[in-house]
Each structure stands twice: as structure tokens, then as C-alpha cells.
Amino acid sequence: MCGINGVIRPASQENAKSYVKAMNGAMAHRGPDAEGIWSNESIVLGHRRLSIIDTSAAGNQPFVSQDGNLVIAFNGEIYNYLELRNELQGFHSFSTETDTEVLLAAYEKWGIQMTERLFGMFAFVIHDLRSDETHVVRDRMGVKPLYYFPSNHGLFFASEVRSLLSTGCVPRTIDPQGLREYLKYQTVHAPRTILEGVKMLEAGHRLHFKGNLMQSICYWNAKNPPLQQVDNLSRKEILAGVYQRLQRSVEMRMRADVPFGAFLSGGIDSSAIVGLMATSSKQPIKTFSVTFNEKQWDESTYSNLIAKRYQTDHCEIRLSATHFMQQVPQAVAAMDHPSGDGPNTYVVSQVTREAGVKMALSGIGGDELFAGYDVFLRLDRLQKQRHISKIPRGMRAFIGKCYQLYKSSAASEKIASTLATPHMEWHEVYPLVRAIHSDRQIDKYLAQPIQDPLWVNQLCVDIESTNMPFLSKISLAESNSYLQNVLLRDSDQMSMAHALEVREPFLDHDLIEWVLAVSDVQKYPHFPKQLLVEAMGDLLPPEIVHRPKMGFTFPWDQWMKHELKSYCIEGLQALQRHPLINGLEIEKSWQDFLQGSTRITWSRIWPLVVLGQWMKINQIEGT
């Protein structure tokens, strides 16, 4: 894993090289092992390297093919590079052990269609000097980020927004619709970002440059995969398919030439990953858990149970809640793009890297794939209570308003909004479920009307048009919105702040396609993530399967009112100064929160604090 950047079709090669040098410097934390720049009249490429496979200097980038016809800047890992290398042996004579060289050889043989053969997380740019064309590619699930900005100086691209800003060519201006989307969902969904003109390449997409033309192409979409034929299979065969695909995914993600380990919370997802790692390794697996002195947040009982069961080399990182809270400002400062989540990943990544580990496996994606969130069951119940939708919409809306007046809270707001939807279909309700602020509240926060881009709404409508099982539709909504645009972006920026590579076995596209094709009858979680648990067999002890779900549910309410109060005020004041924001309404919400309002919870205020701090740190215009 690394950081890439560059300028495509630069107006001036010399100026572009200075821009790339600045971008390399801004992302030094992503690749402390080496850096490089390559240029010609058509493109300037920059790279910062965190060496994981073939750590020798032969793997430094930008990487040029043996015949000098191809050059690549690559961030990520190709997990099936050994299989591809074997397939290409008669075609290409390899001079390194890197997956980077395999990528170029695969392109040489199969062209850009070789992306369909890749298992991995990646963002890369290949320039073909023979045809003077450039391909910019992002992995199927959007694990690795890639941002771009078209300008008169050329098209800038980089692994981080901060790198783009370092050039001085990207305006530090908030995108109005991006702002509205952030206020609603605590993130901005690709291709939009919080900055005007800056785009994020969507997952499963590539850009093709030929001459002065740029074409965006979707090469994989989880909404339209070649559905696996599982309808006629027995449950035993379905479970075997899950196990085999996840086991292969874990084994491929254990390929590395540096020390690696796994995050272990003691939950179902991380325990399954560690169990599969242990069965595939002759050496003890290094595992890392954050534990707390305060019993109500401590999960060490469960993580220690798994560590002991699989005889891992276990590192228990014991913190106090106060120590964790003290790391929060550093975590926010490390954010490349604002988000209402992420500090927990920052802390565990920091201590994991300090232990000498450069790569770790994570259980991210298990909840989305195996119906692990409450939203799956809530929306399923809604579908089964369709008789309520037969009540005239106006009457339902009136009942909702009455309930909201009777019990003013964030939950009652969402119930009222649900009752007011036209048909109470899941695709109408899901955007409300994931929203942290109502449209009415957002209108108050904005100093002027800003149109809602309705990205999540359209996503749900598109998913509803597919013939997938109902639970799989919710999986797609969760994966394409919350997973890709919050969890994965946070995981990348928080881990790479410490030069730690994180790999996610649950995001293997073959596994995803298999599980999405499983019927609701087979997948329904009568207990947490039943399909996954039964597929793992005796790898998961009952104490893990039926444990209470915990997580980082710290006393944010108290911290924000006391220890973090001045930090929160500083962030909110920076936000209030922006011309798009109604500062008086922000202040009113802050005061309501301080006075214990059940409607303005800490989870609604915190994303505002983060946004203000991010704008202040990055000197965004108007703050």
C-alpha cells in the first residue's frame, strides 16, 4: 500500500513536476519507504511507497516496463498476483517479485480488461507510451481512494485530498451540495466530495484518456454481478461455498514479505478471520486488541478467548477511556476528508504499527454482507407490515407528527418521517434511517437554500429495480453508502496516518457475489450473522456467537460537555464562520445539546465539530 498522485495532460511538464513533488510531500505518511517521480509530455506520475511485497528497491515506483512502453503508479495489493504471475510465465520474463510488475504484464497481455481478473484493493494509473493513452482504475469495492480535479493545468489526481490542496491549484472551496450531503449523512458519497470541483473516482470504475477525451467506464457493479447459481443448492452446499470463498480470501490476504497480524475485537467477524488465519498458518498469528480499564467498554474476555483458542501472539493494548479521549484531536487532524467516525481505527492502527507490524487484516464488511446490523431486521419488519401503508398518507403523517410532539427525540423524528413516506417502501425509508439530520433541520443550518443531490435515494431506487433477494438489497445499500463512504474511507485515512496497511477479507468480490445470491430464507439471521456463523462451523465458539454486541460506545456525551468542550466550541465556531452556514442555528443546537435535549444528541453535534475542525486545519475559504 502506498500513495499515488500525478497530472494527466499537463499544460507544462516542468510545472507539473513541481506540483507532483508537493503532492508526494503531502502524503509522506502513506509511504515512508521510498518516493519517486516519472514524467513525459503527456503525464507526470508521483509515488510514495510502503513496501509490503518484494521490499527491495526493485519494487520502487513509478514502475516502468522492461521495454519502456508502459509506466504505472500503483496503490494497493493484487492478492492473486502469484496465480496471475504463473499464468503469465510464458509470456513475460519477470525481474522482480512485485505485484506491480504482474499488473503491467497482465496489461500487456490482456489490455485494460485485465481488471476483471484482479482480486485485490487498488487504485492505479497506467500510461501506455505507444498509444499515448492513460487508464485510471479503482478497485471494485472502493477500498483504496482516488481523488481527481480537472483544471487548466491538467487533470490532477491523488490518493488524498490534502495532496491535491498542496499544489495550490485546487480551490479550498466547499461544494454546496457536498455540504448538504455531509450534514445529512456525516459523509459525502462518491463521486462528489466536500470540495467544489474535486471528485472521487467511484468504486468499480476507471477513467480512460485518449488525446483530449476522457471517458468514465464502470467495469464492475455489485448491483449487476453475474449472480451465482445457488437457488438449487442445499444449505450445506451454500455454507460450504461461503467457507471456501472466505478461506481463500483470507489466505490470499496473508501474502506479505513483512510482519503482519489481525485486529481482534472478539466479535464474530474478527474472530472468524483470526480462526481462518490460524488454520492457514504454521506460525502463531499476531493479534491486536484495544481493551479498557472500564469494564463497561472492555471486550478483553472475548478477544482473549479467541487468542487462547488459536494460540495467537496476542498484544493487548490497554487504555483508559480518558487516554482514548485524549487521542481524538489527533485522529481528527489526521482526517483527509471529514467524517463523523474514525477515532477508534486511528488508535488501534497507531499501537499496531508501533508494535512493528506493517499490515493487518480486519473484519470490516462482515455486518454489511451477512445482515449484521439492526437496520436489516427493522426494514424486513417494515416490509412485513405493509398493511400500515394502506392508511392514507396524510393520516399517517398526522399520526407521526402527534407522536413526535408527544415524545420529542431523534428516534421519534425518524418514525414520523417514515410514516410520511409515500408508500413506506424500504427504498423510501432507508435514506431516512441512515440520515443523522432531517431535511428540515438541515434547511435551518444552511444560510441559503441548497438542493439535495438525493444520491442515496437514487441508489436505493436503482437497487430496488434489481431481482436480488430483499436482504441482499439492504446489503447493497449499506455497502455502497455507509461502508464505502464512511468505514472504508476512515479505515484508509486513519491507518495510513501511521503507515499501516489494512486488508479486508470480507470484501472479496467472489465472496460478495456468492452471498448476494443467497435467498432471504437461507440468509435470515435468527441469531447474529447466522449464515456466516454456520459456515464457520466450530471455528467460532458459542461464547462469541451469542455475546452481547458492544463496540466503541464511549461517554461522548459527557466528554463533549466537559473534557472536549473547548475543542467542540472551537470546531463549531470555525463552522459558523462559513458563509453557507447559519451560525445562529449551529449555536442553538449546541446550547440545546448542553442542556440535555433528547432531540440534539452528541452523534448529531460531533460531525459538525469535525467538519469545522477539518475546515480550520485545511484553511477552507470562509472559515
Which of 24, 70, 71 is closest to 49 using CA atoms? 24
Residues 24 and 72 in one domain: yes
* Per-residue model confidence (pLDDT) at position 554: 72
Give domain status of residue 479, yes or no. Answer: no
Residues 37 and 130 in one domain: yes
Total tally of structural domains belonging to the chain: 4
Q: Helix (H, G, I), strand (E, B), or coil: what is residue 24?
A: helix
Q: Find the helix or strand (DSSP H, E) in which 557 lies.
A: helix 556-561
| DSSP bridge partners of 35 | 48
Distance CA 289, CA 308 (A): 13
Which of 35, 220, 198, 14 is closest to 114 using CA atoms? 220
pLDDT confidence bin for 212, thresholds 50/70/90: confident
Tens digit of each residue's pLDDT (9 = 90 or more) over 234-271:
999 999 999 999 999 999 999 988 889 999 989 999 99
Confidence check: pLDDT of 415 > 90:
no
Q: What strands lie across the sheet with 147-151, from one edge to the other?
A: 34-39, 43-49, 2-8, 154-158, 147-151, 199-200
pLDDT confidence bin for 226, thresholds 50/70/90: low
Q: Which of 218, 248, 274 is the last residue of a domain?
A: 218
* pTM > 0.85: yes
pLDDT confidence bin for 450, thresholds 50/70/90: very high
Give domain status of residue 230, yes or no. Answer: no
Residues 382 and 260 in one domain: no
Tens digit of each residue's pLDDT (9 = 90 or more) over 12-51:
999 999 999 999 999 999 988 889 999 999 999 999 988 8
SS3 letters across 258-324: CCEEEECCCCHHHHHHHHHHHHHCCCCCEEEEEEECCHHHCCHHHHHHHHHHCCCEEEEEEECHHHH
CA-CA-CA-CA torsion sign (327, 333, 336, 338): positive
Residues 135 and 59 in one domain: yes
Write the CA distances from 116 to 139, 227, 434, integer angstroms: 10, 16, 32
Residues 20 and 90 in one domain: yes
Write the CA distances from 550 to 265, 300, 359, 423, 575, integer angstroms: 10, 12, 25, 34, 32
pLDDT confidence bin for 1, thresholds 50/70/90: low
70-78 vs 63-64, strand pairing mode:
antiparallel
Confidence check: pLDDT of 287 > 90:
yes
Lowest mean pLDDT among 106-110, 372-376, 551-555: 551-555
Confidence check: pLDDT of 380 > 70:
yes
Contact 467/517 with Cβ under 8 angstroms?
A: no
Residues 439 and 296 in one domain: no
- Could you give the dihedral angle defined by the CA atoms of residues 296, 299, 305 and 310, in that order, rounded to the nearest 10 degrees? 180
Contact 429/379 with Cβ under 8 angstroms?
A: yes
Give domain status of residue 623, yes or no. Answer: no
From the CB of residue 330, how many other CB atoms can be counted at a distance below 10 Å? 13
Residues 7 and 82 in one domain: yes
Contact 360/500 with Cβ under 8 angstroms?
A: yes
* Residues in CB range of 440: below 8 A, 6 or more apart: none
Distance CA 412, CA 427 (A): 20
Residues 311 and 175 in one domain: no
Residues 446 and 524 in one domain: no
Residues 566 and 607 in one domain: yes
Q: Which of 2, 169, 460, 568 is catalytic?
A: 2
Tens digit of each residue's pLDDT (9 = 90 or more) over 305-318:
999 999 999 988 88
Domain containing 609: what range? 556-617
Give domain status of residue 227, yes or no. Answer: no
Q: Which of 186, 218, 250 is the last residue of a domain?
A: 218
Tens digit of each residue's pLDDT (9 = 90 or more) over 333-348:
999 999 988 787 888 8
Contact 170/198 with Cβ under 8 angstroms?
A: yes
Q: Helix (H, G, I), strand (E, B), or coil: what is residue 397?
A: helix
Query: Percentage of the chain surpassing pLDDT 70?
Result: 98
Write the CA distances from 483 to 206, 291, 305, 498, integer angstroms: 20, 24, 28, 21
Give domain status of residue 303, yes or no. Answer: yes
Distance CA 35, CA 21 (A): 10
* Per-residue model confidence (pLDDT) at position 321: 76
Write the CA distances from 361 to 280, 287, 343, 479, 562, integer angstroms: 14, 9, 18, 19, 36
Write the CA distances from 124 to 62, 145, 172, 237, 424, integer angstroms: 10, 10, 25, 37, 42
Distance CA 496, CA 488 (A): 12
Q: Helix (H, G, I), strand (E, B), or coil: what is residue 89?
A: coil
Residue 2 catalytic? yes
Average pLDDT of the residues of the chain: 92
Give domain status of residue 495, yes or no. Answer: yes
Residues 97 and 17 in one domain: yes
Give domain status of residue 517, yes or no. Answer: yes
Residues 447 and 493 in one domain: no
Q: Grid coordinates standing for 417? A: 418521517
Q: Grid coordinates standing for 615? A: 475546515
Contact 46/10 with Cβ under 8 angstroms?
A: no
Confidence check: pLDDT of 617 > 80:
yes
Q: Grid coordinates standing for 517? A: 445470491
Contact 359/503 with Cβ under 8 angstroms?
A: yes
CATH number at residue 50: 3.60.20.10
Give domain status of residue 181, yes or no. Answer: yes
Within a 13 Å sphere around the CA of 173, how many CA atoms are in the beta-carbon half?
10
* Per-residue model confidence (pLDDT) at position 348: 83
